[in-house]
Amino acid sequence: MNANCLIVQSGGPTAVINNSVVGLIDEMIFSGFKGKIYGSVGGIKGLIQENFFELNKLNIHERNGLRWTPGAALGTCRYRLSESETIKIVEMLKRYHIHYFFYIGGNGSMKVAHMIYEVANKMGYYLSVIGIPKSIDNDLLETDHSPGYGSAAKFLATSVLDMKMDVASYPHSNKVTIIETMGRHTGWLAAACSLAIHEDDDSQTLIYIPESPFYIDDCIKKITEASKDNLSTFLIVAEGIKDENEQYINRENMEYDVLNRPKLGGISSFLEKTINLRTGIQARSIVPSVWQRSSVLLSSKIDVKEAYIIGKEAWKYAEKEYSGIMIGMDREYNDEGDYQIFFSPRQLLKVAGKEKFVPKEWYDSQKNRMSKEFIHYVKPLIQGEMIIPMRNGLPNYQRVI
C-alpha cells in the first residue's frame, strides 16, 4: 500500500502561506508520488476530527489560483494540544497510512510538530515530520526570516508612506497619527515601518517595539516639541510594548485567549486618549489588524517565491528520509552584492516554542528609530510586485474548503 501525506496549516494566516502548500504538492507530483495528499481542514482541529480534503483533486489551474490567494486555504485555528490527543493523532495517522506529515506555522506550531514527532518515535511508527515556517511576526529561530513577513512588512511600510503623503497635504499640521502593528513580544513588523522614513520628511516618525521599554513621558515630550515646530508625528507602536517594569502599557481589563495569552490590541487607542488629554494635540489611531497579513495586492514577489520554494524543499528533505526538522533559510550575497537564499534542515527542538527578537543593536532607543543594519536586512524581503488576476474589478481568489 502506498504511503500517504498530510499537510496542516496552523496559527495566523499570511498573504503567501498557500504558496507553501502549492510548492509542496507540485514537487510531490513532479517526483511521482503515488499516495494520497491530504489537507487537514481547519488546522489541528481538523486533524483531531479526521476532517480531511484530498489535495490530489486540485488541478494545476486551481493550484496556481492559490498562489495569489491570501488566508489559509485549508483553514486554521489556535489550539492547545494535549499529550493524550497527540497519541490519538499518531494512531489516526497509522490508520490512514500517513508517513509524511507537514506542518506549516510559527513557533507554537513547530512545538506541536515536535510533539507529534516524539510520540511517533516512542510508538515505533515511522513518520517524516517536517515543519515549514510561516510568520508575519518573523519571530522564528533557526531561519534568516519567515515567509509571510516580507509581504506584511511591505504592506505596513507602504501604508505609512501613503498616510505621510496624505498628512503632507496639510502644511504646518501638528497632528499625531498612531499606527498599531501586530507583534506580541517582538517588533519586527513595527520596525519595518522605518522603510517609510526619508531624510526630507516634513514630519517625525517614532517607532516603539517590545524589545525596548516604552516611556510615555519621553514620547509625549517629543510629540510636544514637534508640535511647537508645526511638525506632525507618526507613532508606530507594536501591540505588545511594555514599560520599564515589563508591564503592558494598556494592561487594564486585559483578557486572555485559549492559549492563556493576553489578548493584545488597543495600545493605539490608549495612546490617542492619553495624548489628547495630556497635550491637547489632536491624535488619531489606526489599526491595520488582519489587513497587514492578508493584503496580497501589496505582497512581496520575493516573499511569494520563497514561500513556494520552501514547500518544494520540504518534500525533497522528506524524500531523503529527514524527520523532526524545520526547513530554515540562510542568507548570502554573491560577488555582485545580490541577495540570495539557501535552504537547510534545522532541528524542530531548537525552534519549538522559542522566539527570535529584534537585535538590540538594530534599535536606537534614544531616537526611537531602526539602524542601517536593520534596513539592510529587511529591504531585500519586500522586493517585487505581484500581478493579481482580476474579475469584475476585484481579485479572483481560489477557495479549497
Grouped pLDDT means (10 residues each) for the chain, 401 residues:
94 97 98 97 95 96 98 93 95 97 97 97 98 98 98 98 94 93 95 94 95 97 96 96 91 64 81 96 96 96 98 98 98 93 98 97 98 98 96 96 89
* Strand intervals (E) in 209-323: 232-238, 283-286
In terms of Cα–Cα distance, which of 131, 119, 176 is closest to 9?
131
Instruction: Give the model's pLDDT for residue 171.
Output: 85
CATH level 2 (architecture), domain 149-293: 3-Layer(aba) Sandwich (3.40)
149-293 matches 4-135+296-354 in CATH topology: yes
**Whole-number Å distance between alpha carbons of 179 and 158:** 13
Provide the grid cell at 319: 524524500
In terms of Cα–Cα distance, which of 184, 222, 218, 180 is closest to 205?
222
Beta bridge partners of 346: 326
Cα atoms found within 13 Å of the Cα of residue 192, Cβ hemisphere only: 29
Instruction: Give the model's pLDDT for residue 199.
Output: 85
- Its pTM stands at 0.96
**Cα dihedral angle (360, 364, 370, 374), rounded to 10 degrees?**
-40
**Cα dihedral angle (243, 247, 248, 252), rounded to 10 degrees?**
-120
**Whole-number Å distance between alpha carbons of 399 and 71:** 10
CATH code of the domain made up of 4-135+296-354: 3.40.50.450
Residue whose C-alpha cell is 525552534: 351
Instruction: Give the model's pLDDT for residue 27.
Output: 98
H-helix segments, 32-148:
44-48, 60-66, 83-95, 107-122
* CB neighbour list of residue 266: distance below 8 Å, 6 or more residues apart: 239, 250
Return the domain boundaries, the chain: 4-135+296-354, 149-293
